[in-house]
């Protein structure tokens, strides 16, 4: 696959190595203030609920790995990817269900959305109900900390940072789905990645080359562009995702973790659209790889 270039470095290398304000450097202690700048004050994740949100609604976990409200509606909270989009493997579903039970069993939730979408789902932020029916912790953050899913950076930057940190905690403690083998795929596992086409996946590997075309930026993880794993960024979104102040060539040799839906574009690929979808892995040496012949088009 071909390669583009731009500033993944902009966000990735932002002072502490975190990607913009809502990113977390894998393997490092997360500090939202440092990620945003020395003078920044950490902000809590604020969930905005309808004015009349009552005492909350009972919620349970379905056999397919979805959240269902007592009235039958499906709840799809922002900020977390549940097993319905990750894997249908029974072991993963059981691990996620057990993890989710530690959060939602006997609890009620406050959905942020008042109306369901055309698929009958309530999407958006959601909070656990605290004592007296008040809004408590962000539901996605609590589920991520338990190991019930993957973080999906979206919306408020403070929420994105908290959710990524919660996911990192679950991984470190091997909670829920993080106790299952193969939770993070290696970028070199092209066959395994192709099997996950259409599924939300976490992929980790070292960037071998960075390239750019008129419309796209590419990060390549192998020497054979038509077969290797590639990360694709629309040029117009690159500055938002990665920053616009660093030469993308600085990413060569850097170990990163990316997240998104795997697609087949010659070989397996993931297209990034948001800040926080690419993170630097701390504690890994950056060794500039031998640069293969460059192609301008894929």
pLDDT at 234: 85
Does the structure show a pLDDT above 50 at 58?
Answer: yes
- The kind and range of the H/E element at 32 are helix 32-36
Q: Where are the domains of the chain?
A: 8-33+182-280, 57-179
pLDDT at 71: 87
Which of the residue ranges 63-77, 117-131, 170-184, 236-250 would you say has the lowest mean pLDDT? 236-250
Does the structure show a pLDDT above 80 at 248?
Answer: no
CATH, range 8-33+182-280: 2.40.50.140
| Stretch 274-291: mean pLDDT | 67
Does the structure show a pLDDT above 80 at 59?
Answer: yes
User: Which residues, listed in sequence order, are joined to residue 60 by a DSSP beta bridge?
Assistant: 68
Q: What percent of the chain has pLDDT over 70?
A: 72
In CATH, 57-179 is 2.40.50.90: yes
| Stretch 182-199: mean pLDDT | 95
Residue 248 to residue 241: CA distance in whole angstroms:
12
Question: Helices 139-146 & 90-104, crossing angle to 10 degrees?
Answer: 130
């Amino acid at each position: 696959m071909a390669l583009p270039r731009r500033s993944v470095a902009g966000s990735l290398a932002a002072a502490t190595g975190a990607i913009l304000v809502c990113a977390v450097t894998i393997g490092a202690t997360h500090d939202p203030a440092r990620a945003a700048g020395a003078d920044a004050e950490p902000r809590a994740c604020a969930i905005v609920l309808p004015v009349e949100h009552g005492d909350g609604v009972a919620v349970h976990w379905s056999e397919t790995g979805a959240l269902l409200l007592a009235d039958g509606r499906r709840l799809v909270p922002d900020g977390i990817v549940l097993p319905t989009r990750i894997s249908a493997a029974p072991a993963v579903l059981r691990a996620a269900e057990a993890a989710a039970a530690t959060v939602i069993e006997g609890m009620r939730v406050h959905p942020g959305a008042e109306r369901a979408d055309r698929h009958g789902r309530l999407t958006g932020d959601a909070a656990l109900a605290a004592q007296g029916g008040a809004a408590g912790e962000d539901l996605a953050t609590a589920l991520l900390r338990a190991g019930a899913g993957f973080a999906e950076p979206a919306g408020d930057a403070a929420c994105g940072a908290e959710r990524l940190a919660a996911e990192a905690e679950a991984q470190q403690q091997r909670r829920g789905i993080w106790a299952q083998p193969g939770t993070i795929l290696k970028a070199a596992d092209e066959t395994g990645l192709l099997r996950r086409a259409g599924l939300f996946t976490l992929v980790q590997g070292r960037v071998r080359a960075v390239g750019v075309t008129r419309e796209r930026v590419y990060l390549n993880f192998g020497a054979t562009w038509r077969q290797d794993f590639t990360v694709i960024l629309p040029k117009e979104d690159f500055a938002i995702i990665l920053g616009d102040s660093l030469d993308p060539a600085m990413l060569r040799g850097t170990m990163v973790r990316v997240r998104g839906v795997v697609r087949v574009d010659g070989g397996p690929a993931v297209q990034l659209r948001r800040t926080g979808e690419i993170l630097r892995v701390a504690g890994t040496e950056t060794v500039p790889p031998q640069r293969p012949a460059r192609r301008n088009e894929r």
